[in-house]
A and B are shown apart, each in its own frame.
Chain A
Amino acid sequence: MTWTMAQRQRLALENQILQNEGFTQFGVFHHPADDTYSAGGTATTSVGRNYHVFCMIPPSYPTQRPSLYITDPNPLLNFNGVAISRLGVSHAMHTLEPNTLGWVQICHWRADRWHAGIVLQKVFLKAMLWLEAYEQHLATGRDLADFVRTMQEAA
């Protein structure tokens, strides 16, 4: 599939919104070798730990939901030292199907709630909320879901 002009324009605009709205640790990138797009960056939580988040922009974006992964650290461990990716689609940890490399997929919006009006800035905002909740999970052992409200359709 080839990208439409509207898709390319939207991704450029979304990158500019990230930069202008204080999300400078994230960006949207073009990969000219295969004409694909990705978005991601390194988020630093309030306790000072760094996490790299990454998503390939799917070819039918924005109608198609982008999957957002934590690529580093890998494996990402839970309070008990178990890889979170082993939990699969977990409501307690707000995760979806992991990547084949073991990357944990954050549940930002589920497919049955995603729509084209949601922008990447909100996706990364949810990623940062997830990471803060993850830090609380590591500190207390409580489910990550205890710290984040079920993702509502707030877009």
Chain B
Amino acid sequence: MSDQRSMIRDAMQAIAQRKPGKSKLVYDKTKRTIVAVSEGVPTPQALNITADDADMFGVVTLSSGWLRDKWSSLTKAGSLPVGFSSWDDGDALTQLELCIQGSGTHAAATLVLGQQQGQASEGIVISIVPTDKPTHRSDVFVSPDNIAYRGELIEPAGPAANPRDVVFADIEPQLDLRRAGILETTVLKDRTVLCIGLGTGGALVAVELAKSGVGHFILVDRDRLSVGNVVRHPGGISQVGRTKVNVTRNLILEKNPGAQVEVHVMDVGFENRDVLAGLVQASDLVICGTDNRQSKLLINELCVSADKPAVYGGAFRRAYGGQILRVRPKQSPCQQCFVSSLPDEASDVEVSSQDDADAIAYSDRPVAVEPGLSLDVLPIATQLAKLAMLELLADKSSTLNVLKRDFDAPWYLWLNRPEPGTQYADMPPLSESRDEMTINRWYGIYFERDEQCPVCGDFLSGLAAAYGLDSTQLPALPEKE
């Protein structure tokens, strides 16, 4: 391995330094690999370099955006200090401006415009020198005056045993390019998603939407990440003790550094009704990942009142399955319609924390905490994110719009296993069923909106009629001191 690595490096350095008579790298179409051709060797079999081999070298990553911003300072002063987060004993240096969460080990360097004269006395020096390489390459930086540059790393103690490449990260264009195949690059940048409840499912949905290019997030949760959360939540052990909104903000920014993320550490309760109403009003879509009825019904009322679409998701107990309800106010059943029509289904929730258990326990009848596995929550979060995407794309042209005929139902049901004691216990095995319900399939289920729903319908007229009263001719209430 080390011999091959050394040969690759020699070959690449020879090419970079334009030394004649050495070797060159050629892409072999028949072998679909890069081969090194050395002078005097009749067949190009000395090396077989695959894409994986290119990752053998250490990398120093600079921010193109930062360098563009600092370009005039660099051209005036000739040099600039730059800080890096050092990973894996210096194998990778990532400019601090790119790091949402750093390694904890910093490395200082100096950026020099033009060729560095002599050996660097202390610290790393990166020379920014003109190049004629194609500008689309990751090791090429295009300055504001439209000149291509590359970076040359000069280690303080002379040539390093493991030299590192200098690459430039131009975040937004590079991320947009990856999404461009399926999503128009700017289509979701102006969308604001209010994510309420950032447990395992809620945080996963937020991160998926960030990856898809959603540009604005408002995060609401009161909890902190605990050690027990780590086996499910995308936040890791190093984040324990932090609020879930801040953990999730960092996860979002790791995937979409350009996103605007507003966080609110607060309970989703009636005491915060006015604040929540303001946040709902400021959003294009509400994702509700809380797992208690009161909070869902509160959010439902606020969303219907503000005419904002919302998607509610949650796992069943021990995550044997899960469900999603998408609400388009006054067009599809709301959460209150769901609770009234399907009370048992609406009450089947995962008890994933002590707080959840306490909320439904009696002092003389405790409730056990029974969280499901992360892998059983993931399908629900993924589907919820997809439904959320369709809502966000509602009035925009997109390749994903073809899914609208598939995801037309208001309620979606998923089963991870035939849980004993449930109506799904006797489902046929996946391999034997054609028409019956089985595990690992999404079911879109239709049910009617309640025209006399207390939240989205005309409840008062219906109630008055049921009791033979005229709701417009009621006496005033008796008054009391």
Contact of A117 with B by CB under 8 A: yes
Which residues of B418-464 have CB atoms within 8 Å of chain A's CB atoms? 453-455, 459-460, 463-464
Chain A CB within 8 A of B405 CB: no
- The answer for the CA separation of A32 and B360 in the assembled complex, in Å, is 36
Q: Are B478's CB and A110's CB within 8 A?
A: no
**A119–B459 alpha-carbon span in the complex (Å):** 11
Complex alpha-carbon distance, A20 and B474, angstroms: 12
B274, B477, B479 — which one has the most chain A CB atoms within 10 A of its CB?
Answer: B477
A12–B459 Cα distance when bound, in Å, is 14
Picked from B292, B365, B469, B478, the residue with its CB within 8 Å of the CB of A112 is B292
Which of B21-29, B65-73, B110-118, B335-343 contacts its partner? B335-343
**Which residues on the A side are within 8 Å of B480 (C-beta)?**
29-31, 38
| B-facing residues in A1-54 (Cβ within 8 Å) | 1, 6, 9-13, 15-17, 20-21, 27-33, 37-38
Residue A73 at the B interface, CB < 8 A? no
How far apart are the CA atoms of A141 and B76 in the complex, in Å? 91
Known: A1-B274, A117-B459. A30 touches B340 (CB 8 A): no
Task: Determine the chain A residues whose CB is within 8 A of the CB of B468 once the complex forms.
Answer: 20
Q: Is the Cβ of A112 less than 8 Å from the Cβ of B359?
A: yes
Q: Is the CB of B365 within 8 A of A91?
A: yes
Q: Is there a chain A Cβ closer than 8 Å to B471's Cβ? A: yes
A13 touches B469 (CB 8 A): yes
Compute how far the CA of A96 lies from the CA of B265 in the bound complex, rounded to whole angstroms. 27
A112 B294 Cβ-Cβ under 8 A = yes
Smallest beta-carbon distance A27→chain B, Å: 6
- Please tell me which one of the listed residues A29, A89, A110, A111 contacts residue B477 in the complex, with CB atoms under 8 A apart: A29
Evaluate contact between A21 and B343: CB separation under 8 angstroms.
no
Indicate if A113 sits at the interface (CB-CB under 8 A): yes
Q: Looking at the complex, which one of B270, B454, B463 makes contact with A60 (CB distance below 8 Å)?
A: B270
* B460 contacts A115, C-beta separation under 8 Å: no
- The verdict on A110 contacting B360 (CB below 8 Å), with A29-B479, A30-B480, A65-B294 known, is yes
Task: Pick the contact of A115: B270, B297, B477, B481 (CB < 8 A).
Answer: B297
Task: Please report the total number of B residues contacting A with Cβ < 8 Å.
Answer: 42
Chain A residues with Cβ below 8 Å from B477 are 11-12, 15, 28-30, 37
Q: A133 CA to B314 CA in the complex, in Å?
A: 37
Contact A9 B474 (CB under 8 A): yes
* Shortest Cβ distance from residue A87 to the other chain B in the assembled complex, whole angstroms: 7
Q: Which residues of B contact A6 (CB under 8 A)?
A: 460
In the bound complex, how far is the Cα of B460 from the Cα of A116, in angstroms? 12
Residues of A within 8 A of B160 (CB): none
Q: In the complex, what distance in Å separates the CA atom of A32 from the CA atom of B339?
A: 34
Q: Does A92 contact B (CB under 8 A)?
A: yes
B454 touches which of A87, A90, A111, A116 (Cβ 8 Å)? A116
Question: Which 8 residue pairs are nearest across A and B when measured between Cβ atoms?
Answer: A91-B362, A116-B454, A91-B365, A60-B270, A12-B474, A29-B480, A30-B477, A153-B343
> Could you give 26 example pairs across A and B, Cβ below 8 Å?
A9-B460, A10-B459, A10-B463, A13-B463, A20-B469, A29-B477, A29-B479, A31-B481, A37-B477, A58-B270, A59-B270, A59-B273, A62-B454, A63-B297, A87-B364, A90-B363, A90-B364, A91-B365, A92-B362, A111-B359, A112-B292, A115-B339, A116-B336, A116-B455, A119-B463, A153-B347
